[in-house]
Chains A and B, each alone.
Chain A
């Protein structure tokens, strides 16, 4: 990707190149604005793609895949850290913002006039055309997706092939390692090159640390390059923060900008976990789309279920036993289907800057864990409906293995202590949440930081709450809509 001329000023500086930053950069470039995009992570090289889970985590994820939220338990929080952000390493799931989620997010703060659903849908239509969004075809469901389809149909639960931003997917099952064939229409192969073609400049390995302010106006950013050298970029018209719901509040906090009681507060997640089922016939998790099928029967009850094509190393960590017992369990891997549940949790945590990293604090509420327990119970039920011969719930204090549907009742007694669960999240929200005024949040209905000029936050941190669905599409649509107004 061309980096263009190396100057130190632009009309707009966009911080972050993922689902928030890339659409902003493109919209600004299309409006004829001079744009510099600053990305903390590296460019994604050919040799970085499809290199296995370990290398992917080490090369392309924040903190080399070791970022965690600390609370009553430790919850890994996975985020991309590369040009294109998390869109490079996610499962390519594109979920249109449902009306009920829109009401909960934007209706609840009185923002329906400022951010009409129809305006978001118009952007979503465009994004779907741009990113070749379509349901995963039958041939890409793989054994994992086909079994979930069979199980959900048998139970009469609402399910469907996942709508994905992939063009001519090869089914290599490596979405989360940066698509090896570049078929996934993530930001580094779509919106960013388009923005560059219109004159935008992308600078990888540039970590923004603070926003420079003058008389309450954002006039530039300062930071450090990957080699440790400092840099400053001046912004003639403004700065758009789109560094994620973890990095954006840290930059504001380090800069002393925004209402302190809200910047980095209200940190929300979709904590999730997975349940593995073993089948008589081979499933071959590594074939087909990484995430191809989902069941949203219970979305309004607070959880959503989807297949997860985990590689053997990640599937193995949840298996019980050691030595010969581990070998017997892992020998089932080719016949294993892995399905995850993600919960629209009510808990709120905090994000704050620490030395060289972000400090994440988060503990699910009891009600969230009750939802999680219902979710894994449903997953186990669906595995048996699909024909599983045994199911591994993976919860400490619960049964190691379920041998038949008669064992499902044991799931109702699973402990609610999050320390008994292997939770994980890759969806983060609301740390600079939108609100009518600074008594309730950080940004206004245009994404502008209250009490400032020329400074906007256009990523998941601006969302008023968690959505209960995969957020990339909503983040992109919101960023596009608000940037069109800024430009």
Chain B
């Protein structure tokens, strides 16, 4: 299962708002999501892909604005994302939580993020491992 270029572009706009990161970092996170979808079992990939679709395309259902999430104004998008994260409906909250959890793995792998947080390299190098 894949996350096509258009879907990546749209979800990157949302992720940039969620994590407060520049759009370039968010695009890399969306690319990570695409790679992740290709490596996990079909059932999990389908769940995540549906989650990405829903977060992209449900502004009308949740805040009554007939636009995809990436086309919302920043304030409307913030209100829209808050609907997901604070929803009374477990499935909505959980879907967003799942997306955030996977996206965070791509976020934390980003060199700019790791440098900013000063948390060291993502992976050990073989030289270090052999000490």
Contact = CB atoms under 8 A, between A and B. Distances in A.
Nearest to B105: A54
A312 B17 CA distance: 19
Contacts of B19: 322-323, 326-327
Contacts of B119: 286, 311-312, 333-334
A168 to B, nearest CB: 11
What interface size band does chain A fall in? 35 or more
A389 interface: no
B60 interface: no
Interface string A41-70: 000001101111111011000011110000
B105 A66 contact: no
A461 to B, nearest CB: 22
B9 interface: no
A330 B39 contact: no
A50 B129 contact: yes
B85 A322 contact: yes
A322 B40 CA distance: 27
Interface in B1-58: 17-20, 36, 39-41, 43-44
A180 B124 contact: yes
Contacts of B128: 180
A50 B125 CA distance: 8
Contacts of B124: 49-51, 172, 174, 180
B44 to A, nearest CB: 4
Contacts of B81: 322
A313 B105 contact: yes
Nearest to B48: A66
Interface string A302-333: 00000000011110110000111111001101
Contacts of B129: 46, 49-50, 180-181
Contacts of A46: 126, 129
Contacts of B90: 73, 419
A170 interface: yes
A322 B78 contact: yes
B117 interface: yes
Contacts of B72: none
Contacts of B106: 54
Interface residues of B, number: 38
A74 interface: yes
A54 B101 CA distance: 10
Contacts of A112: none
Contacts of A324: 20
A374 interface: no
A174 B107 CA distance: 19
B70 to A, nearest CB: 15
Interface centre among A180, A314, A325, by most chain B C-beta atoms within 10 angstroms, is: A180
Interface in A160-176: 170, 172, 174
Given A322-B20, A323-B18, A327-B20, A313 B94 contact: no
B108 A311 contact: yes
A20 to B, nearest CB: 24
A316 B101 CA distance: 8
A442 B51 CA distance: 40
A331 B20 CA distance: 12
B30 to A, nearest CB: 15
Contacts of B64: none
A170 B131 CA distance: 9
A396 interface: yes
B122 interface: yes
A50 B40 CA distance: 20
Interface string B98-131: 0011001111110000000111101110101111
A156 interface: no
Nearest to B113: A312
Contact of A330 (B41, B93, B117, B130): B117
Interface centre among B41, B78, B81, by most chain A C-beta atoms within 10 angstroms, is: B41
A168 B109 CA distance: 29
B17 A316 contact: no
Contacts of A286: 119-120
Contact of B44 (A49, A63, A317): A63
A314 B119 CA distance: 13
Contacts of B82: 322
Contact of B123 (A52, A63, A326): A52
A404 B119 CA distance: 27
A422 interface: yes
Interface centre among A174, A323, A324, by most chain B C-beta atoms within 10 angstroms, is: A323
Contacts of B123: 50-52, 55
27 contacts: A49-B124, A52-B109, A53-B108, A55-B123, A63-B41, A64-B39, A73-B90, A74-B94, A180-B129, A181-B129, A181-B131, A312-B108, A313-B104, A313-B109, A316-B107, A316-B108, A317-B97, A317-B101, A322-B19, A322-B78, A323-B18, A323-B20, A326-B20, A327-B19, A331-B117, A334-B117, A422-B97
The 9 A-B pairs of least Cβ separation, nearest first, read A313-B108, A66-B44, A50-B124, A54-B105, A419-B90, A327-B20, A180-B129, A323-B20, A313-B104
Given A313-B105, A314-B104, 5 more contacts: A63-B44, A180-B124, A180-B129, A312-B117, A326-B19
